[in-house]
Structure 1
Amino acid sequence: MRVVNIVTRCLLSVFSIAYPLLWWLSPEMDWLTYMPFGLAFLWFFQGMQAVGFQRFFAFFMSIMLGVVGISRGLDWMYWYPVAINVFMLIIFGGSLWAKQTIIEKFARLQDPDLPAEAIAYTRKVTQVWCAIFIFNIVVTVSLIYFNRLDAWALYTGVIAYIIMAIVMVGEWLIRPKHNRTF
């Protein structure tokens, strides 16, 4: 069952990343009408394995995508990247009010005994990720509102991931400098 969960997550990731570009590059969109059903199935299956808020979100996404597919209201698919960023913002932002931020939990996988300075650093990294998700939401909603769908596809399918990669690499390069002070 674990392999199936990994495959489901990988497929969700690949299709979630690829679909804005497929949407943009496809001269005929008939085959795209099936994509909401495939994503709805993957989200439903993910929901069966998840717990708590992640389960709720997975079922919500499954229902939303099912309705999009049945209604053939494919314009709603433009909001899919917004929903993903809102979900990530809720997870990361919500952890700022918890005892441990999500980044601190990841850091504790490598070092269970984090000093106070490291905990403060992980909180700042979590805040940076929240800012990235807010930025992605604002840009994506603006592109949808102004009907800049080519720019929407380019941003949600390429630029947003480049920004996130830059943040990940930047944090990875900065982290050793902070570790010296702990």
Structure 2
Amino acid sequence: MPSFRKVAFVAVSLAYPLLMYAAMGRFEPRWLSLLLFALAVLRALGSREAVWMWAAAGTGLLAAVALLGNQALPLKLYPALVNAVLLAVFLASLRWPPSMAERFARMQEPQLPPFAIVYTRRVTQVWCGFFVINGGLALATALWASDATWALYNGLLAYLLMGVLHAVEWTVRRRVKAAHGHG
């Protein structure tokens, strides 16, 4: 069972765009940047995984720019950074297998049949495409949209799109398994 600290961290991380939107205009961006960086460092130290260390470094760069310039834009770029990090991780898993989707699949079924390995590779490629599109939209909303539109997309719509993609993949996976006699 996950600890309260982990659950709280995930909840705050997911709610980041909405929390930022609520805080904008009430607090200077420089103070919000310190909070963002603290969250990233806590996540990195809590996991000790290289990907989160790199994410914390990128977050530190955004926070430093926000701190020095007292501007909100670097803080609004955080969702685009997260998508870029996830894209890099998923792409790396395609270059150096097993693919990310295969790693997740093996948590449930350690002995995957060959068709499943091919399928999970394709799923990883689809997620890479998602991270490109979602990251592009996160970047576009940070650069050109209102704060409310940025918060709506990055704090709600992006998660709904992830859910839809996951639901579609789950449906396709069941059909692929059934077609191969694994149902």
TM-score range, shorter chain: 0.7 to 0.9
CA separation of 1:89 and 1:27: change in aligned 2, threshold 3 A:
closer
Runs of 4+ in structure 1 over 4 Å off: none
CA distance in 2, matches of 1:57, 1:110: 27
Which amino acid in the other structure matches residue 163 of structure 2? A
CA distance in 1, matches of 2:111, 2:82: 32
Task: Write out aligned runs for 1:3-152 (5 A).
Answer: 3=3, 7-8=5-6, 10-25=7-22, 28-30=25-27, 34-48=31-45, 49-61=47-59, 63-64=60-61, 66-68=63-65, 70-71=67-68, 72-152=70-150
Contact 1:12 1:39 in 2 (8 A): no
Paired residue total: 177
CA displacement, residues 111-161 of structure 1 (integer Å, 9 cap, x when unaligned): 111111111111111111111111112112222332443322211111111
Structure 2 gaps, min length 5:
none
CA distance in 1, matches of 2:102, 2:140: 32
Q: CA RMSD in A?
A: 2.5
Which amino acid in the other structure matches residue 118 of structure 1? A
Q: Tell me by how many angstroms 1:40 deviates.
A: 1.5
Q: TM-score, normalised by structure 1?
A: 0.83
